[in-house]
Amino acid sequence: MNLIDFKQATTGMDLNQMLGFQISEQLIPLRIVGKDDTLLLLDTNVDVPATLGELVAWPTDALALCVRHHQKLYTVYGYRIVDAVIVLG
């Protein structure tokens, strides 16, 4: 999922909602690492979880969303809401 698609799909949602990623049954908060070539990289190594507002503020819409968890990269194809958290997957 490109950032522009994510921005359009989440228009009107609460910008303070946290971003997360789910592995098995565990919901893990995400932080924004930054741009890596054509990717916008998010990571599960979190001190302060990122919010929807921080993600939609990124200026480069053509970037593909990608999550790194324990050095493995996961392409983001969509999202769902779990307990008021936007879970990327």
13-32 per-position pLDDT tens digit: 999 999 999 998 899 999 99
Q: Is 88 exposed, middle or buried (0-12, 13-18, 19+ CB in 10 A)?
A: buried
d(CA 35, CA 14): 24
Please report where in the chains the tokens 């999202």 appear, as a residue: 79
Length of the chain: 89
Give the model's pLDDT for residue 13: 97
Record the pTM. Answer: 0.93
Q: How confident is the model at residue 47 (pLDDT cuts 50, 70, 90)?
A: confident
Q: What is the rounded average pLDDT for all residues in the chain? A: 95
pLDDT at residue 64 is higher than 90: yes
Range of the domain at 11: 3-88
β partners of residue 28: 21
Number of domains in the chain: 1
The pLDDT, as a whole number, for residue 46 is 87
Cα–Cα distance measured from residue 47 to residue 35, given in angstroms and rounded to the nearest whole number: 19
Task: Please check whether residue 42 is in contact with residue 31, taking contact to mean a CB–CB distance below 8 angstroms.
Answer: yes
What is the residue whose two structure tokens read 């779990």?
Answer: 82
